Each structure stands twice: as structure tokens, then as C-alpha cells.
Amino acid sequence: MELLDVILIAAGALVVLGLAAGIWFVTAMTGMRRLSATVDERWDALAATLERRRAVAAPLLATAPEAQQQQAAQAFSSLDAASQPQSKAEAEAEVQRVLRPLVQAAGSQPLGSDAAEARTALAALDDEAQARRRDYNTGARELNAKGRRYPSSMWANTFGVPREFFEVDQAGAVAEPPRIQF
């Protein structure tokens, strides 16, 4: 084997390795971009679900005292203004704290009343919000894990990694159990 043949084989091997590395990097970046877009979509769906609560809670708020209506308006305003998961979670916890007495009071209303229907709709909306929260947190966890691995770690900052988790503090729910009257 001549020297020229060895040089051509080595150059060919380097070209093949370079192409393989390039494909690997492009594939990693594309996967990171796709996962980031999925997490963004899940966040938007979660935020929209949380913000729909105002319309669903309107019948409950209509019968509430003025002070409670003002507290609810402030809580919903802070929920609308929050854009990051941590601040949105804190605002969501406040909305839940404000609505809890109204939902409990609606439990004593007769079936078919606006308050009872609003309570049922809020329960369904809470279930949907929990499912969307789990979806978002799962996507954020996957994106954060992928952002720690090479070569995706090279583009992690471009895609906003690490992402915060959306975790609502349930301490208020445990501290104030519902009162049941017979």
C-alpha cells in the first residue's frame, strides 16, 4: 500500500466521522428544539386552563360578599399577570385559597342551581389542570434531563433549560379540612 492510498483512506475516514458527528449534533439540536416546543405548548395549555377558572367561578362569586369578591379579583389578577411557573403556582394557590369557602358553601346548594353547577365545573377544571400540570412537569423534567446530556447541553441555554416545575403548595388544603355538617 502506497502512502497516497493511506492518506486517502485516512481522509475518507475523517470525512465519514465528521459527517456522523454533524448528523449527531443536528439530530440532538432538532430533538431539543422539538421537546422545547412541546413543553411550551404544554405550558400554554396549563396557563389557559388556569385562567378559565375565572369564568367558571363567576356564579359562585356573584353570591359572595364584597370583600371576598375583591380578594378573588386580586387573586385572579395576579394569576393573569404571572408568567413563570413559580409565580403562576403561587397565584394559583391563592386562587384556590379564596375559592375554597365558596366551593364548600356551594355544596349545600340544591342540585341544578348555578352554584352547584359551578362547583361541578370547578371540580372538572381542577382535574384538567392537574392533568395538564403533570404533562407540563413531565415535559420539563425530560427537557431538563436532555439538556444535561452531551451534545444537547451545548444548546440548553438557547432553549431555556432548565425549566421550572409548576408545583402548587397544597399546605392550605391540608391545614383547612372541609367542614361537614349533618
Give, for all 182 residues of the chain, the pLDDT tens digit: 798 888 999 999 999 999 998 898 888 888 888 888 999 999 999 888 888 888 888 888 877 788 888 888 888 888 888 888 888 888 888 888 888 887 777 666 667 777 778 888 888 888 898 899 999 999 998 888 888 778 767 767 777 778 888 887 765 444 455 555 55
Q: Is the dihedral of CA 159, 168, 66, 104 positive or negative?
A: positive
- What pLDDT sits at residue 174? 41
Measured CA to CA, the distance from residue 82 to residue 40 in angstroms comes to 15
Model confidence, pTM: 0.73
Distances (CA, A) of 3 to 7, 10, 13, 17, 128: 6, 11, 15, 21, 69
Name the one residue in this structure whose C-alpha cell is 465528521.
18
- What pLDDT sits at residue 24? 84
Closest to 121 measured CA to CA, from 44, 45, 58: 58
- What pLDDT sits at residue 147? 81
Cis peptide before 110 (omega within 30 of 0): no
Name the one residue in this structure whose C-alpha cell is 375559592.
99
Measured CA to CA, the distance from residue 19 to residue 42 in angstroms comes to 34
- Establish how many alpha carbons lie within 13 A of residue 128's alpha carbon, considering only the half-sphere containing its beta carbon: 15
- What pLDDT sits at residue 60? 81
Q: Is the dihedral of CA 120, 123, 127, 129 positive or negative?
A: positive
